[in-house]
Chain A
């Protein structure tokens, strides 16, 4: 009873907060108060909620009358279902904590308004629903809402290039959204079901996939590539990260990776017996890893560089998932969690530099280590973390991805992961050297900017990276158990 009331609250509560702050637009003090209280409550809800399943409108599992309805399974869910387990809890706690950080950093900005904070809450509600939903259509609806909210957050920067980035994101979003919806419609036509668990059972019972179901998988895979920011949509996604405020970019890359994980699990569950899907995922993931790293190495703007690193790392997560074994999928999801933490630190550092110097061009800033030593130290540690250097968190996940690649019989991919780590390190350390150690700076630091909130948050996050690196089983074991239980 207790859990069945709290599970939908994880979606409903941020939506209520969004409506409230939107309603109080321009009343900055009220918006700030509601935003702070609501974001903290949003963190508490997933911690308090017990594991379980919530059936909307109380519709229980019902007989499907296979002889009359031609459904391939004896009983089905009649309503929308939200499932909450250990994996959902880890993802939701991470998501809500990062949202709190982003809201705290955004509250002191001039562009702060009720609508801006409302968009952050709507994106939180959407990703929460995507994580929880066991209903494919509900899943799709919130993916669309998320796309709009993300575009709005980028448009709020009010620069021409931000508008262009959001416009392109929406154009390709319409292609992707249309593909997913058509895919779902085709599956509904063939199997008469929208619930993912039921669809999975029906597809297993139905034997070989019909051409119409193959078309559906193809269309949904296109949507998966877009939502995850993988090739060929990597440029669109990196453009969004680059043109958002850096702290919002940290949130966007987190949301993309959480959606990547949620959608991958959904696809692997529904089409669990279809091995070609994993091969396609792996192929696009490898391509994204390489292109993302190569592009990151070419950049001279810290935000653009980090955007391509984030895209490359998403490829690495997808590579783990695409390898298709329980070990590799768990390692991929574990890497997604580790990566969003390290990437968030780097984006927050970019945000601090942007606030202090009014630019993130690495060739304009120099000698910053003497002026902001703590930020320099944390950026260096975050560079080590994201490059997979022990004792930080990404070392644990990258090691597991390499091990799983070797176990799956693809030792070459292990070599590729090592090369990616080296390339990531070179790309970010180049920016670190130019910003913090190179003598001479053409940009002047703003002496009034203290950035205490930025400094506190990046120190907390690097401590989290270190903690997970030293005690990986706290996060990894529940993920592995869930993946084994799902049987994907």
Chain B
């Protein structure tokens, strides 16, 4: 499996500085997986809810299934107005839900 992942990184990153490019690709993938694991642990530890725990494990499993994830992150972080607007809309909704639900106004 590792060989297959290496080949994917080699093909995608070879134009970004030969071995150095592949290395930085691996580092960013390592960072992404670590972030998901850390976020998962944080939620599991602090949420104190079985529903939340099951949900976070399912999301974590789904994300790990999509390795390598860095190329998807790169695709989603282009400077296109459409994509940024989409994420701005998602963020506004998330903030509103968190503030209203967290203050007991919605629930």
* Chain A residues in the interface with B (C-beta under 8 A): 164-165, 168, 171-172, 175, 208-209, 211, 214-215, 217-218, 221-222, 225, 231-236, 239, 276-277, 279-280, 284, 286, 290-291, 293-295, 297-298, 300, 362-363, 410, 412-413, 415-416, 419-420, 422-423, 426-427, 430, 433-434
Most buried by B among A280, A412, A422: A412
> How many Å from the CB of A275 to the closest CB on chain B?
9
Interchain CA distance A363-B18 in the complex, whole Å: 10
A217 touches B24 (CB 8 A): no
Q: A426-B27, A430-B24 are in contact. Are A235 and B17 (CB under 8 A)?
A: no
A236 touches B84 (CB 8 A): yes
Q: Which residue of the partner chain, among B35, B88, B100, contacts A211 with CB atoms under 8 Å?
A: B100
B99 touches A291 (CB 8 A): no
For B17, what are the chain A residues with a Cβ–Cβ distance below 8 Å?
300, 362-363, 430, 434
A427 touches B87 (CB 8 A): no
B32 touches A294 (CB 8 A): yes
B73 touches A221 (CB 8 A): no
For B34, what are the chain A residues with a Cβ–Cβ distance below 8 Å?
415-416, 419
For B92, what are the chain A residues with a Cβ–Cβ distance below 8 Å?
218, 222
B103 on the A face (CB < 8 A): yes
> How many Å from the CB of B90 to the closest CB on chain A?
7
Chain B 65-98 interface 0/1 with A at a Cβ cutoff of 8 Å (1 = within)? 0000010011001110101100110111001101
Chain B 30-67 interface 0/1 with A at a Cβ cutoff of 8 Å (1 = within)? 01101100110110010000000000000000000000
A290 touches B99 (CB 8 A): no
Q: A412-B42, A426-B27, A433-B20 are in contact. Are A295 and B100 (CB under 8 A)?
A: no
> How many Å from the CB of A170 to the closest CB on chain B?
11
For B23, what are the chain A residues with a Cβ–Cβ distance below 8 Å?
426, 430
B79 touches A298 (CB 8 A): no
B79 touches A412 (CB 8 A): no
For B24, what are the chain A residues with a Cβ–Cβ distance below 8 Å?
297-298, 426-427, 430
For A362, what are the chain B residues with a Cβ–Cβ distance below 8 Å?
17
> How many Å from the CB of B106 to the closest CB on chain A?
9
A276 touches B31 (CB 8 A): no
Interchain CA distance A412-B73 in the complex, whole Å: 22
Sample of 17 A–B contacts (CB below 8 Å): A168-B79, A168-B84, A172-B88, A214-B103, A218-B96, A222-B91, A232-B91, A235-B79, A286-B35, A293-B31, A294-B31, A294-B70, A294-B73, A294-B74, A295-B77, A420-B31, A430-B20
A217 touches B32 (CB 8 A): no
Interchain CA distance A211-B84 in the complex, whole Å: 28
A239 touches B102 (CB 8 A): no
For B79, what are the chain A residues with a Cβ–Cβ distance below 8 Å?
164-165, 168, 235-236, 239
Dominant SS at the A interface? Answer: helix
Interchain CA distance A215-B99 in the complex, whole Å: 8
For A239, what are the chain B residues with a Cβ–Cβ distance below 8 Å?
79
A232 touches B100 (CB 8 A): no
For B105, what are the chain A residues with a Cβ–Cβ distance below 8 Å?
211, 214
Beyond A168-B81, A290-B31, A298-B70, list 12 extra A-B contacts (CB 8 Å). Answer: A168-B79, A222-B92, A235-B77, A294-B74, A295-B74, A298-B16, A298-B25, A363-B16, A412-B42, A415-B38, A419-B35, A430-B24
A416 touches B27 (CB 8 A): no
For B16, what are the chain A residues with a Cβ–Cβ distance below 8 Å?
298, 300, 363
A231 touches B28 (CB 8 A): no
A290 touches B95 (CB 8 A): no
A412 touches B84 (CB 8 A): no
For B21, what are the chain A residues with a Cβ–Cβ distance below 8 Å?
300, 430
Interchain CA distance A300-B20 in the complex, whole Å: 11
> How many Å from the CB of B50 to the closest CB on chain A?
20
Interchain CA distance A222-B91 in the complex, whole Å: 8
> How many Å from the CB of B75 to the closest CB on chain A?
11
Task: Enumerate the 5 nearest inter-chain pairs by beta-carbon distance, A residue then B residue, closest first.
Answer: A232-B87, A297-B28, A297-B24, A276-B102, A294-B28
A172 touches B84 (CB 8 A): yes
B95 touches A218 (CB 8 A): yes
Q: Which residue of the partner chain, among A233, A279, A420, A430, contacts B84 with CB atoms under 8 Å?
A: A233
A175 touches B31 (CB 8 A): no
For A298, what are the chain B residues with a Cβ–Cβ distance below 8 Å?
16, 24-25, 28, 70, 74
Q: Which of B1-33 contact A (CB under 8 A)?
A: 16-17, 20-21, 23-25, 27-28, 31-32
Interchain CA distance A284-B92 in the complex, whole Å: 12
Interchain CA distance A236-B39 in the complex, whole Å: 25
List the A residue with the shortest CB-CB distance to B88.
Answer: A232
For B96, what are the chain A residues with a Cβ–Cβ distance below 8 Å?
215, 218
Q: A295-B77, A298-B70 are in contact. Are A231 and B87 (CB under 8 A)?
A: yes
For B35, what are the chain A residues with a Cβ–Cβ distance below 8 Å?
286, 290, 416, 419
List the A residue with the shortest CB-CB distance to B24.
Answer: A297
For A165, what are the chain B residues with a Cβ–Cβ distance below 8 Å?
79
Interchain CA distance A209-B104 in the complex, whole Å: 11
For A423, what are the chain B residues with a Cβ–Cβ distance below 8 Å?
27-28, 31
Q: Which residue of the partner chain, among A225, A286, A410, contacts B91 with CB atoms under 8 Å?
A: A225
For A231, what are the chain B residues with a Cβ–Cβ distance below 8 Å?
87, 91
